[in-house]
Amino acid sequence: MSEVNRCVCTGLTFAELSRHPAAGSGFEALRRATGCGEGCGLCEPYVRAMLRTGRPSFRALAPCLSGGESGPAGGGAR
């Protein structure tokens, strides 16, 4: 199973991002302040989910990476 716990492009973990002062102002503010989501953009749904839930890691969204497990939504229904 593949865990996603950081923005690979910036190297910042979701735990670090959650503690950033801009985290309280939403994704766009955090993106502007840190650059997370401005590279490849793949971390955006995870960072948004981290801001909603406070979770620092998630199972990968893509079934081919995760073995079919659920992603940030915590669902799993297909």
Which CB sits closer to ligand FES, 33 or 77? 33
Q: Does position 62 bind ligand FES by CB under 6 A?
A: no
Q: Does position 7 bind ligand FES by CB under 6 A?
A: yes
Residue in 17, 23, 43, 51 binding ligand FES, rule: CB under 6 A = 43
Count of residues engaged in binding ligand FES, rule: CB under 6 A? 11
* Non-local CB neighbours of 57 within 8 Å, separated by 6+ positions: 3, 4, 5, 14
**What are the C-alpha distances in Å from 28 to residues 32, 56, 63, 68?**
6, 18, 27, 29
Q: Does position 65 bind ligand FES by CB under 6 A?
A: no
Q: How far is CA 74 from the centre of its chain?
A: 13
Which CB sits closer to ligand FES, 36 or 51? 36
